[in-house]
Amino acid sequence: MKVSVDEAKCCGAGQCVLLAPEVFDQRDEDGIVVLLTPEPSPDQHSDVREAAAVCPASAITLHDGS
């Protein structure tokens, strides 16, 4: 699984960080998402999927299968 984030869409709600803190963080300057782990390990996949599904800005995209 590969993850990408769209900073321009992100509204800084922090849902992704609450769900998958090893994969996502928020910048100190403005609360916008930072991708820590673009290729999360299999045990992180379900949290990452949940984060992508609930992101209120639809700012997280998953590229499966790789």
Partner 1 sequence: MSPNEPAMRLPLPTDGPLEAPAEWQELRRKCPVATVELPSGDKAAYLTRYDDIKALLSDPRFARPTDRDEGAARIAPEGAGGPVANGDSSIAIATQGEEHLRWRRHVGKYLTAKRVTALRPGMVAIVESLVDDLVEQGQPGDLKATVGFPLPVYVICDLLGAPAEDRDRFSYWSDAFLNVSRYSTEEAQASYGEFARYMSELIAAKRAEPGDDLISNLIKDGTEGGEGLSDELLLSTGMGLLVAGHETTANMIGKMVSMLLADRTRWERLLDDPSLVRTAVDEVLRFDANFGFGVRRYLGEDVEVGGELLPGGTTVVCALSAANRDEQVFADAAEMDLTRAPNPHMTFGAGPHACLGQSLARTELQVVLEVLLRRLPTLRLAVPVEELQRVEGLLVGGLRTVPVRW
Q: In terms of CB distance, is 39 or 54 closer to ligand SF4?
A: 54
Strand boundaries in the chain, DSSP class E: 2-5, 24-26, 33-35, 60-63
Amino acid at 47: D
Residue 48 contacts ligand SF4 per CB under 6 A: no
The reply to whether 50 sits near partner 1 by the rule CB under 8 A is yes
**47's tokens:** 């949290």
Q: From the CB of 12, what's the least distance to ligand SF4, in Å?
A: 5
Using an 8 Å Cβ cutoff, are 3 and 51 in contact?
no
Binding site for ligand SF4 (CB under 6 A): 5, 10-16, 24, 26, 33, 55-57, 59-60
